[in-house]
Amino acid sequence: AQQGSYAMASEYLRGLSPSAADLQLRLLGAGDGSGLADAVDFFAAQVGSRADYELTQALLARFFKIHSAAIRADAELSARCAALREEQRAAWSALEALFHEDLALLSFLSHMQG
């Protein structure tokens, strides 16, 4: 059920203009702040699924720029962000491995032509 709502949220965010996405990210901090925790969970799921990598990275950068003070002030949010950081590292490691494989293949193929 959670993945379904994350898929809908991801689809919604993909359709927004940059300024509308920025507004939505800013609104997450309104009220009791539970929106921030939900957003961190959403981003962790997105990073873990390896879906919409570039969009997720752009939104994450903006999210942290907007809400970094609130996150630092809340121990639970900080812990969730630490888990998100580990997801980020794992996702980057997988992507980096693909880059290295592609570079090795390109190198091999370029030597075959010469």
| 33 three-class SS | coil
Position 77: which residue type? L
Per-residue confidence (pLDDT) for residue 113, from 0 to 100: 67
Count of domains forming the chain:
1
Q: What are the backbone angles phi and psi of residue 74, rounded to the nearest 5°?
A: -120, 115
pLDDT: is 18 or 98 the higher one?
A: 18
- Condensed to tens digits (0 to 9), the pLDDT of residues 8-39 reads 999 999 999 999 999 999 999 877 778 999 99
Q: What are the backbone angles phi and psi of residue 79, rounded to the nearest 5°?
A: -65, -40
Within 10 angstroms of residue 42's Cβ, the number of other Cβ atoms is: 22
- Cα separation, 98 vs 55, whole angstroms: 19
Contact between 72 and 108 under an 8 Å Cβ cutoff? The reply is: no
pTM listed for this prediction: 0.77
Contact between 6 and 46 under an 8 Å Cβ cutoff? The reply is: yes
Question: What is the DSSP track for 44-66?
Answer: HHHHHHT-SHHHHHHHHHHHHHH
Q: Residue 45 belongs to what domain range? A: 2-113
- Cα separation, 42 vs 49, whole angstroms: 11
Place 114 in a pLDDT band, splitting at 50, 70 and 90.
low
